[in-house]
């Protein structure tokens, strides 16, 4: 009986340790891992000519600068719902980071740039917006659902990652993690 309890206890420790590694994004140094998140290789995306944005390119994450990236879709009702919270976060802390919203829609192909600009205008977007038509940045940042956001520190490491809608305060707290990283 004691051996069964011992084995059950050891299995529980293993499960909890594995869950901790998943929750924190890695294995602690003491167990042979590294606490530092992986470096995200930057990619250059086309920007969309929309309110607060400009036509051209942007490199994300920005080299040597904290970056906040919001992933959205024009087809996504929760993405539109959280635009006021994003707008307020941008107004309050946007100067401290490169603040960008990114769509993975096929802009310039099945979705026109004007469609994105109209959606942006209708939802009071007033910061940089870019198109990740190959979804390469989304893959590098492990984006699996929309809306999603990532706060990346100046060294190119993700310090905050989330999916779903959030409040202004939650966005600001996530951005602060990248600023403190």
Tokens 């910061």 found at = 127
| Reported confidence tier of residue 36, pLDDT bands at 50, 70, 90 | low
In this structure, the number of other CB atoms found within 10 A of the CB of residue 92 comes to 14
What is the Cα–Cα distance from 45 to 22, expressed in whole angstroms?
30
Q: pTM score, two decimals?
A: 0.80
In this structure, the number of other CB atoms found within 10 A of the CB of residue 34 comes to 10
Domains and CATH numbers, the chain: 43-180 (3.40.30.10)
**Are the CB atoms for 161 and 76 separated by under 8 Å?**
no
Encoded tokens for 69: 């990236």
pLDDT at 31: 43
pLDDT at 138: 97
What are the tens digits of pLDDT across the range 70-127?
999 999 999 999 999 999 999 999 889 999 999 999 999 999 999 999 999 999 999 9
| Reported confidence tier of residue 37, pLDDT bands at 50, 70, 90 | confident
**Are the CB atoms for 49 and 120 separated by under 8 Å?**
no
């Amino acid at each position: 009986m004691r051996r069964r309890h011992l084995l059950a206890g050891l299995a529980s420790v293993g499960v909890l340790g594995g869950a901790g590694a998943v929750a924190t994004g890695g294995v602690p140094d003491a167990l042979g891992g590294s606490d530092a998140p992986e470096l995200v290789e930057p990619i250059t995306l086309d920007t969309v000519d929309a309110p607060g944005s400009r036509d051209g390119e942007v490199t994300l994450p920005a080299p040597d600068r904290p970056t906040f990236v919001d992933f959205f879709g024009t087809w996504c009702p929760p993405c539109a719902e959280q635009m006021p919270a994003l707008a307020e976060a941008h107004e309050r802390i946007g100067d401290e980071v490169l603040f960008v919203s990114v769509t993975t829609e096929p802009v310039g192909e099945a979705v026109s740039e004007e469609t994105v600009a109209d959606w942006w205008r209708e939802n009071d977007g007033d910061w940089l917006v870019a198109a990740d038509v190959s979804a390469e940045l989304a893959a590098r940042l492990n984006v699996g659902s929309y809306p999603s956001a990532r706060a990346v520190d100046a060294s190119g490491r993700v310090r905050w990652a989330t999916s779903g809608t959030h409040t202004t305060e939650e966005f600001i707290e996530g951005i602060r993690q990248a600023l403190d990283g």
